[in-house]
Structure 1
Amino acid sequence: MIASNLDEALALTKKFTSKPSNEELLKLYGLYKQATEGDNKGDTPGGFDFIAAAKHNAWLNNIGKSKEEAQEQYISFVNSISSKYI
């Protein structure tokens, strides 16, 4: 199955039978947030919340990308890894 839009790509990730690597999950998260919300304008999480900090940084990695560009990259990335996890 190949996704052709953001909704299909998101649905495809829900069919994964095993969990992608943390690196892949963070890339998916950052691209999805950029595609749906735009640039990350939130404060960096403080303290020892390493997961929140990693997610925040993954989203920051996409700063400046248009929502459309992030959507295209998200769809492409989901399609590229889906064969490993379905």
Structure 2
Amino acid sequence: LYGYAKIADGEKFEDAKKPGMMDLPGKAKFNRWQKFHDENLSAADAQKKYVEAVDALVAKYGLKQ
């Protein structure tokens, strides 16, 4: 979800600071964002994929209120 959100928000990957060596969650998020950037995923496509991913999670786990 993080990578889709970063692309959809129009944030520039080139300006991103690479996470530290021991920041494993940060590295995972950064790598996913880089993957989508390298694939030239558009902001509109990223928004669509983000919504699809959230809908799939809601369908699988439901919502607690």
Same fold (TM over 0.5): yes
The runs of 4+ residues in structure 1 deviating greater than 6 Å are none
Higher helix share: 2
Which residue of 10, 13, 18 corresponds with 1:40?
Answer: 13
Which residue of 25, 29, 34 corresponds with 2:2?
Answer: 29
Query: What residue is the counterpart of 1:9 in the other structure?
Result: none
Structure 1, unmatched stretches of 5+, are 1-27
What is the TM-score of this pair, normalised by structure 1? Answer: 0.59
In structure 2, C-alpha distance between the alignment counterparts of 1:55 and 1:37, rounded to whole Å: 16
Alignment: residue pair count: 59
Query: What residue is the counterpart of 2:33 in the other structure?
Result: 59
What is the TM-score of this pair, normalised by structure 2? Answer: 0.73
Structure 2, unmatched stretches of 5+, are none
Seq. identity, %: 32
